[in-house]
Amino acid sequence: MESLKVGIIGFGTVGTGVFKLLQSFNNIEVVKIAVKNINKKRETENLNKEILTDNPYEIVNNPDINVIIEVAGGVNPIFDILKKAIENKKHIVTANKELLAKRGSELFNIARENNVIILYEAAVAGGIPIIMPIKTILCANKINKIAAILNGTTNYILTKMTEKGLSYETALKQAQELGYAETDPTGDVEGYDTAYKLSILSTISFNKKVDINKIYTEGITKLNTRDLKSAKELGYRIKLIALGQVLPDGKIDVRVHPMLVSKKHLLAKVDNATNSIMLSGYPVGDLIFTGAGAGAEPTSSSVVGDLLVLASELETGNSPLPQAVCKHNEAAEQINIADTYNEYYISITASNNPGAIGYIGTICGKNNINISTIMQNGINEDNTAEIVVITEKSKESDIQNALKELSASESVKNINNLLRVMN
């Protein structure tokens, strides 16, 4: 077979991992690599520095290159670079979840017009094979629910807060020292990274375009050790959950936020930097995919896997991988978080006065909320009490109305946290 000629855009942790893995395949030739700093000292084995460039358009406009691997990340200027590459009839393999979530529809439309494809297994859950299985083996199914842990950084932090009793700040620092978290961890800890991945995953699972701007997104920065301790005592673990589900009326509920997950649930057992995806569908039932969701080796596994599948298809001379072409033209009707139904965990600081718990119950009842568990965690020096409430399934808007009433009461000193519950 004639060698597939490849250009790589981005040569950080993942790009370097991809280059190293490609050394094992004689049918792949890396022609050019675009880097930010061409003078940076690199110790990568077998790297001919002559192939480095700081101008990605040298790759995009090179007529000898068949496929571009994009692992640089971000939206600008990458969108324009890949747009030009597609117009030059080059296939794309990318790990860029932010780009696909925000402007993927535009890129896929341009790709269809130019009879090229975009493969992106590495954009969701690193080394876990999930995109292509949904598009191929599972295509006979109607998938109606996704529940997933899609960010290793936040999962590591929450694991250490739960198991070791570390504060959020200490657990984050530890994650940064181990290389799980960036110097600026905002994208991970505020839930944005997870939302990008969920947008991609729910679009292909539900066969409708899911708008990243309509995904309710909440991170883990408001959590504290008290919440994790209370959850543990009640039989739960707190996880940052990506949830997508098709409702009986066909509307789609897609959101990212921390949840109390029952210890009996499989996702509660997923710890440290591991990712896990649960799919529910008909006729297959429930499936779970678990593994390393980030890092050079797992991500390069998915990138090179896409590349080798593409190389095999191109060898036949046919239009490549028709099942991989994005065909989601219909926009999903996404509901607002206020219209969702959940069980809830509410942490309240209230005056330690007779009737305080009864008052909380009265306000909940007034707002159509049934309480399933209520627990008081001792008395503070200022004669306040920490009260934890677990509700039965209730409407989010009713919960928010109840919290407003409770906040206005003199006996309620603070609403410490509101979390949703998964059993």
**pLDDT attached to residue 313:** 79
Which contiguous run of DSSP H or E holds residue 205? helix 192-206
197 assigned to active site: yes
- Cα 3 to Cα 61, 311, 369: the distances in Å are 19, 9, 64
- Which residue among the candidates 32, 197, 209, 239 is catalytic per the annotation? 197
Residue 117 DSSP SS3: coil
- Cα 382 to Cα 25, 66, 349: the distances in Å are 68, 70, 11
**pLDDT attached to residue 328:** 67
**pLDDT attached to residue 318:** 56
Taking the model in full, what pTM does it have?
A: 0.95
Alpha-carbon dihedral of residues 406, 411, 416, 421, nearest 10 degrees?
A: -50
Query: Which parts of the chain register pLDDT below 50?
Result: none
> Is the Cβ–Cβ distance between 281 and 144 less than 8 Å?
yes
**pLDDT attached to residue 21:** 96
Q: HEC string of 243-275?
A: EEEECCCCCEEEEEEEEEEECCCHHHHCCCCEE
> Is the Cβ–Cβ distance between 125 and 293 less than 8 Å?
yes
**pLDDT attached to residue 107:** 95
Q: Sketch out the chain's domains with CATH numbers.
A: 4-126+296-323 (3.40.50.720), 131-292 (3.30.360.10), 338-422 (3.30.70.260)
